[in-house]
A and B are shown apart, each in its own frame.
Chain A
């Protein structure tokens, strides 16, 4: 789950507007348009039209005219302004131009794309790496391609939209189970007809509440039942695990995961997606995976920055330690102030603050913005159990003092709005 402003990650069918011959195709969006107008009429700054006029660092920007601390960017490792990374991008821009203007399988594979895939293979210690133009396309492409007609995809109900859309695009039977429920997953796996192909799709960190999956048990159960396992480590790469490979590494099940999906738009600090695997036939994906084939490849500057960033993340143990420190301080501090949080303990770099309702959530979001703090407002129906959340994602570049400043802002805003 994640970025859906007005829609859940799991696709829904939208009602039709009747059979008027001149029906406006946009009529079906009227309820949403009205809801949005009401929210804005209440005088609240539009949470979904924020403009960053100036970005000063991974943790600071000028937003809607105000100097703002960024606490909702997924820029976990703060690589966006790393001098080596920036330099690599500039050099590739000069040497290779602004774009490839072509598909990876035609004229769109440059030296930089190969180097980026080499960096990923080394980072994960895997045999194969395939770079997509976005993380969304990586899930869309891999899931829809490997699970075909007659196969079964067993997935967590709180999966990200890119996973659901990969399921919708493929022809496999889709079987969801209750969030992080090992027993529910096992029961469903055992009911799948004998001989059918099985793919279990999990995430390391779920981005709504920042909670971690019990991958150790889930991967074991999946393997015992003859399933292949795909883990989306978008929110854990670079941070969780000894080498920053993610939750599967942290829980010691890396060798049993068949496919790791990830993104460059979080810890790596640019844009793009990937899949790494040890499957001996993996390279055939480059020819059969449509979201890989039928789109232009990433610009040379992007893959150059990604490659340098990934290599630096291999040796970022100190940053990882500081980010954990930040996560613990913010989680403990918010809890002590009396806020209700998405997880009992800090499990990742995401800390979700649960709001009593959408109205006060929007008020709190605005109060924080006026204090000079940007967080993500997440609201139904994109959230689990229809909660309204203020999602905070920490950065390794947030200083100790900044985290204290953030806690002060939450305290003042929380009291103004009457939540604490």
Chain B
């Protein structure tokens, strides 16, 4: 899956968690813009992991502050798998 396809997929996965309907850009942050708490983060990460059959460890999550970095990380993890 190329970056555009991964982006489209993650956009659909994020929808049920984006309760306030925030416009998603690469610079959108999970903690501040989307106001995800730790439980939401876990559920959202699990949804992505299951969709792409990858692991995003908490160590990796710590580096992923915004949406663009998430898409990049998933593209890379998918290639490594």
- List A residues at the B interface (Cβ < 8 Å): 8, 10, 12, 152, 157, 167, 173-178, 184, 187-188, 191-192, 381, 384-386
Contacts and interface: CB of A to CB of B under 8 A. Distances in A.
A191 B46 contact: no
Interface bracket on B: 10 to 19
Nearest to B53: A191
Contacts of B37: 381, 386
A173 B43 CA distance: 18
Contacts of B59: 173-174
Contact of A174 (B39, B49, B53, B58): B58
B59 to A, nearest CB: 6
A178 B57 contact: no
Nearest to A155: B58
A192 to B, nearest CB: 7
A174 B55 contact: no
B57 A173 contact: yes
Nearest to B77: A191
Contacts of A8: 38
A206 to B, nearest CB: 15
Contacts of A12: 38
Contacts of B42: 157, 176, 178
B5 interface: no
A79 B40 CA distance: 41
B2 interface: no
B58 A191 contact: no
Contacts of A177: 46
Secondary structure of the B contact surface, majority rule: helix
B40 to A, nearest CB: 11
Contacts of B39: 157, 384-386
A306 to B, nearest CB: 34
15 contacts: A8-B38, A10-B38, A12-B38, A157-B39, A173-B60, A175-B55, A175-B58, A176-B58, A177-B46, A178-B43, A187-B50, A188-B55, A191-B49, A192-B55, A381-B38
Contacts of A191: 49, 53-55
A178 B53 contact: no
A191 B46 CA distance: 12
Nearest to B58: A174
Contacts of A10: 38
A59 to B, nearest CB: 35
Contacts of B57: 152, 173-175
Interface centre among A175, A385, A386 (most CB of B within 10 A): A175
Nearest to A181: B46
Listed residue (B49, B57, B60) with the most chain A CB atoms within 10 angstroms of its CB: B57
A356 B42 CA distance: 24
Contacts of B46: 177-178, 184
A9 to B, nearest CB: 10
Nearest to B54: A191
Nearest to A171: B59
Contacts of B49: 187-188, 191
Nearest to B59: A173
Nearest to A167: B58
